[in-house]
């Protein structure tokens, strides 16, 4: 049948179970219910879902027929945002997602700040691409607050005798309170320099100052786009980490809503290298 060859992505329609302020800029949402059956789990520590936020003014009932909406009323299409699955619990049928609340702008951040038990959370996925390799000579994990959920999950997956370094730039050291402590993998909290135009500068400096270990690390590097571009140049050109040892991408871009930021990945400005 014409137009029906592309499989539709299953939408998991979950209900918010709880909402907890983990730190001043991080809200943890646990959501679950029978809709969990439509969620496709995987073993990547950076697994992520696409959450669909419909404008309540349109009165849509999930799961949404995105194809029909796209053809007949594109202005009603839900806004799509990407989030890491901090934890999936098959027995409890719940997903845990940590949302950065970054002010009044945007859709997902303000939604998370206001979320109440019973609110619907509709999502597709999960995707993913990185898991720490147990036999890597060492691990390098670098990110900002948006990458804390994925770095958290990676630390939990590391063997007890793993070695490496973690660098995270966030305003509050308490953002890192829940991270698993692995003796050989110290976590450096990097305080940002004041001013939005200096986001990431302190992180880059901290990474540059790292005394390099022997062997090739497996690296996971995610955060704001311009910072990631600089880090990529440093790690690939100066530190000579081979591409296949590097999981690196932008999770967001300053001054860009996610739709524009994702679209720009096809243009020069959106490419990190
Ligand atoms: C694979 C992947 C996994 C991700 N995992 C997480 C996660 O677990 N938790 C998480 O919070 N984010 C995560 N992100 C980032 C998240 O998708 C973006 O931050 C997204 O733009 C937030 O949507 P929004 O509707 O709140 O803001 P948008 O409508 O997209 O943007 C509105 C404005 O807010 C700014 N903005 C967006 N995000 C931030 C931020 N974090 N800090 C400061 N300003 C911001 C934008 O530049 C823009 O000016 C992930 C992204 C990817 C690609």
Which atom of ligand 1 is closest in space to residue 148's alpha carbon? 8
Residue 237 CB burial class (10 angstroms; 0-12, 13-18, ≥19): exposed
The confidence score (pLDDT) of residue 4 equals: 41
Give the CA distances from residue 78 to residues 73, 97, 159, 168, 199, in Å, rounded to whole numbers and listed in that order: 11, 19, 40, 32, 30
Using CA positions, which residue lies closest to atom 8 of ligand 1?
84
Give the CA distances from residue 193 to residues 22, 90, 261, in Å, rounded to whole numbers and listed in that order: 23, 41, 24
CA of 224 to the centre of ligand 1 (A): 9
| DSSP 8-state symbol, 178 | T
Q: What is the CATH number of domain 138-270?
A: 3.40.50.80
Place of tokens 């209900």: 15
By most ligand atoms within 8 Å of CB, the mutation choice from 44, 111, 148, 251 for ligand 1 is: 251
The confidence score (pLDDT) of residue 8 equals: 66
By most ligand atoms within 8 Å of CB, the mutation choice from 152, 252, 270 for ligand 1 is: 252
Using CA positions, which residue lies closest to atom 38 of ligand 1?
252
Q: Which residues form ligand 1's pocket by a CB distance below 6 Å?
A: 48, 81-84, 98-100, 102, 105-109, 146, 149, 251-258
Place of tokens 């404008």: 55
Which atom of ligand 1 is closest in space to residue 144's alpha carbon? 41
Beta-carbon count within 10 A of 20 CB: 11
The confidence score (pLDDT) of residue 268 equals: 80
Distance, CA of 170 to CA of 177 (rounded, Å): 12
The confidence score (pLDDT) of residue 3 equals: 37
Backbone angles phi, psi at 174, to 5 degrees: -70, -10
CA of 212 to the centre of ligand 1 (A): 31
Using CA positions, which residue lies closest to atom 37 of ligand 1?
252
| DSSP 8-state symbol, 143 | E
CA of 220 to the centre of ligand 1 (A): 18
User: What would the two tokens of residue 13 be?
Assistant: 């329609």
Rounded to a whole number of angstroms, the distance between the first and last alpha carbons of the chain is 41
Beta-carbon count within 10 A of 15 CB: 15
Using CA positions, which residue lies closest to atom 21 of ligand 1?
258
CATH 2.40.30.10 domain span(s) along the chain: 12-127
Which atom of ligand 1 is closest in space to residue 149's alpha carbon? 8
The closest alpha carbon to 119, from 111, 107, 127, belongs to 111
CATH 3.40.50.80 domain span(s) along the chain: 138-270
The confidence score (pLDDT) of residue 88 equals: 97
CA of 120 to the centre of ligand 1 (A): 20
Tens digit of each residue's pLDDT, the chain (273 residues): 333 444 568 999 999 999 999 999 999 999 999 999 999 999 999 999 999 999 999 999 999 999 999 999 999 999 999 999 999 999 999 999 999 999 899 999 999 999 999 999 999 999 999 999 988 999 999 999 999 999 999 999 999 999 999 999 999 999 999 899 999 999 999 999 998 889 999 999 999 999 999 999 999 999 999 999 999 999 999 999 999 999 999 999 998 988 888 888 888 888 777
CA of 260 to the centre of ligand 1 (A): 12
User: What would the two tokens of residue 247 be?
Assistant: 């999981």
By most ligand atoms within 8 Å of CB, the mutation choice from 109, 196, 228, 250 for ligand 1 is: 109
CA of 254 to the centre of ligand 1 (A): 9
| 241 contact partners, CB below 8 Å, separation of at least 6 | 216, 217, 219, 235
The CATH architecture of the domain made up of 12-127 is Beta Barrel (2.40)
């Amino acid at each position: 049948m014409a137009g029906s060859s592309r499989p539709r992505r299953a939408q998991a329609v979950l209900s918010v179970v709880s909402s907890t302020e983990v730190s001043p800029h991080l809200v943890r949402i646990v959501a679950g219910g029978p809709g969990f059956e439509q969620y496709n789990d995987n073993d990547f520590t950076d697994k992520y879902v696409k959450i669909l936020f419909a404008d309540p003014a349109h009165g849509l009932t999930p799961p949404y027929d995105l194809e029909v909406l796209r053809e007949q009323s594109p202005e009603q299409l839900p806004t799509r945002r990407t989030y890491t699955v901090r934890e999936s619990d098959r027995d409890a049928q719940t997903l845990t997602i940590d949302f950065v609340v970054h002010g009044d702008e945007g859709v997902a951040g303000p939604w998370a700040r206001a979320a109440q038990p019973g609110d619907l959370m509709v999502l597709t996925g999960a995707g993913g691409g990185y898991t720490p390799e147990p036999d890597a000579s060492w691990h390098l994990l670098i990110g900002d607050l948006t990458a804390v959920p994925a770095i958290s999950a990676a630390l939990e997956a590391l063997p007890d005798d793993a070695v490496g370094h973690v660098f995270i730039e966030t305003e509050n050291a308490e953002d890192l309170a829940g991270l698993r402590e692995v003796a050989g993998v110290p976590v450096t909290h990097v305080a940002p320099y004041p001013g939005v135009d200096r986001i990431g500068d302190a992180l880059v400096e901290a990474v540059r100052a790292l005394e390099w270990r022997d062997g090739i690390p497996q690296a996971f590097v995610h955060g704001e786009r311009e910072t990631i571009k600089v880090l990529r140049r440093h790690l690939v050109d100066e530190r000579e980490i081979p591409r296949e040892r590097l999981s690196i991408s932008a999770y967001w871009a300053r001054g860009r809503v996610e739709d524009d930021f994702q679209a720009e990945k096809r243009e020069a400005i959106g490419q990190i290298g």
